[in-house]
């Protein structure tokens, strides 16, 4: 399995999102609080197509965008919940085009299948801002992307496991790993899988026993973890590609009479770093949580400000992220808003 995943890495990993640039909201134009979009006295109409509400993270991401694009700031925001179906997102985008919105913000459920509808948006002269996930399409079909580097997140998970095993003098012991993957074809699933594989492929003693999709949901995560436990009696590490699946996996592990986390039977590597999960990191129930920052609304607001002023924007903007373990999590918990 490691070899198969490593083979997927043989080609250069192309996001189609250009070089990452940083536009931390606090750092840019900090001394100038004017909202440029209000200068002409008109509302800026934004159509936002969100994947759904499948996780705590997704809800936080939606809330971030709604907080940033408010009427007080000169926006009229139209939001559509696609309920995890690409066809719903395509319908929403076409509806936004017919409504002649000023901007479209799209968080794409999968990477492929967007060329036609994005071409329609371009022909209508509507800039498309990708949020969170990216697309496998001609880069000229969207204006910019704001999100997180999922490949780097997966790589961070692999490096944490590497260091953890070194500390325990187990780096070259046989280590059995199962992976709870997210929605197939999404950039988050692809990046985290390939990023982790880029580290795992260095170690012939790291055995990836199985990879299956839990669709980023708690219920599916529990179901797949139950299957893993029934099929593989000696699992050392669970890599769960979001916190909601991790919660389900934890239920399955506990019901099987096994322990987890620091000093437990099974080590848990999770992603997203929502507050509920970070509490479990503090308690030692989750070994490490790789942050995927949902607070992208202010970045999108800054991008629109630039476009409204006729300024050029970069092709990609990456938000900042951290890695949390029991050693550093306590100082950040009180500040967590999601």
Residue 9 half-sphere exposure toward CB, CA atoms < 13 A: 21
For 253-304, how does the pLDDT look when each residue is reduced to its tens digit (9 = 90+)?
A: 999 999 999 999 999 999 999 999 999 999 999 999 999 999 999 999 999 9
Residue 338 domain-assigned (yes or no) = no
Q: What is the CATH number of the domain that holds 92?
A: 3.40.50.2300
Residue 161 domain-assigned (yes or no) = yes
Q: Is there a single domain that holds both residue 154 and residue 288? A: yes
Q: Are 294 and 301 in contact (CB under 8 A)?
A: no
Assess whether pLDDT exceeds 70 at residue 325. Answer: yes
Assess whether pLDDT exceeds 80 at residue 35. Answer: no
Q: Is there a single domain that holds both residue 285 and residue 301? A: no
CA 9, CA 201: separation in Å to the nearest integer? 10
Q: Is there a single domain that holds both residue 247 and residue 288? A: yes
Q: Is there a single domain that holds both residue 230 and residue 139? A: no
Residue 73 domain-assigned (yes or no) = yes
Q: Is there a single domain that holds both residue 120 and residue 226? A: no
Quick one: pLDDT at residue 42?
A: 84
Q: Are 261 and 287 in contact (CB under 8 A)?
A: yes
Residue 58 domain-assigned (yes or no) = yes
Residue 337 domain-assigned (yes or no) = no
Q: Is there a single domain that holds both residue 212 and residue 284? A: yes
Q: Is there a single domain that holds both residue 227 and residue 185? A: yes
Residue 78 domain-assigned (yes or no) = yes
Report the number of distinct structural domains present in the chain. Answer: 2
Please state the pTM of the whole predicted model. Answer: 0.81
Q: Residue 262 sits in which domain range? A: 2-6+150-292+328-332
Q: Is there a single domain that holds both residue 202 and residue 109? A: no
Backbone angles phi, psi at 153, to 5 degrees: -60, -45
Residue 107 domain-assigned (yes or no) = yes
**Mean of the per-residue pLDDT values of the chain:** 89
Q: Are 209 and 1 in contact (CB under 8 A)?
A: yes
Q: Is there a single domain that holds both residue 39 and residue 162? A: no
For 93-114, how does the pLDDT look when each residue is reduced to its tens digit (9 = 90+)?
A: 999 999 999 999 999 999 999 9
For 120-164, how does the pLDDT look when each residue is reduced to its tens digit (9 = 90+)?
A: 999 999 999 999 988 999 999 999 999 999 999 999 999 999 999
Assess whether pLDDT exceeds 60 at residue 179. Answer: yes
């Amino acid at each position: 399995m490691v070899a198969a995943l490593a083979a997927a890495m043989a080609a250069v990993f192309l996001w189609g999102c250009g070089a990452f640039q940083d536009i931390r909201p606090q750092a840019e134009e900090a001394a100038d609080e004017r909202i440029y979009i209000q200068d002409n006295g008109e509302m800026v109409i934004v159509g936002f197509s969100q994947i759904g509400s499948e996780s705590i993270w997704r809800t936080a991401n939606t809330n971030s965008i709604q907080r940033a694009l408010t009427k007080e700031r000169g926006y009229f925001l139209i939001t559509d919940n696609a309920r995890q179906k690409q066809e719903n997102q395509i319908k929403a985008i076409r509806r936004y085009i017919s409504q002649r919105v000023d901007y479209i913000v799209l968080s794409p459920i999968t990477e492929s299948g967007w060329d036609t509808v994005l071409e329609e948006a371009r022909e209508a002269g509507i800039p498309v801002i990708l949020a969170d996930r990216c697309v496998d399409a001609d880069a000229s079909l969207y204006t910019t992307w704001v999100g997180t580097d999922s490949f780097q997140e997966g790589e961070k998970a692999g490096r944490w496991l590497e260091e953890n095993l070194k500390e325990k003098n187990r780096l070259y012991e046989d280590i059995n790993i199962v992976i709870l993957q997210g929605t197939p074809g999404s950039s988050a699933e692809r990046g985290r899988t390939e990023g982790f594989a880029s580290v795992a492929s260095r170690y012939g003693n790291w055995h990836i026993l199985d990879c299956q999709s839990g669709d980023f949901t708690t219920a599916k995560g529990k179901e797949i973890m139950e299957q893993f436990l029934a099929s593989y009696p000696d699992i050392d590490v669970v890599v769960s590609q979001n916190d909601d699946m991790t919660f389900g996996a934890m239920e399955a592990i506990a019901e099987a009479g096994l322990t987890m986390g620091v000093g437990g039977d099974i080590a848990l590597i999770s992603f997203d770093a929502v507050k509920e999960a970070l509490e479990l990191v503090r308690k030692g129930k989750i070994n490490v949580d790789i942050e995927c920052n949902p607070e992208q609304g202010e970045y999108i607001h800054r991008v629109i400000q630039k476009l409204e002023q006729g300024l050029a924007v970069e092709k990609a903007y990456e938000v900042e992220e951290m890695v949390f373990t029991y050693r550093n999590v306590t100082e950040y918990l009180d500040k967590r808003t999601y």
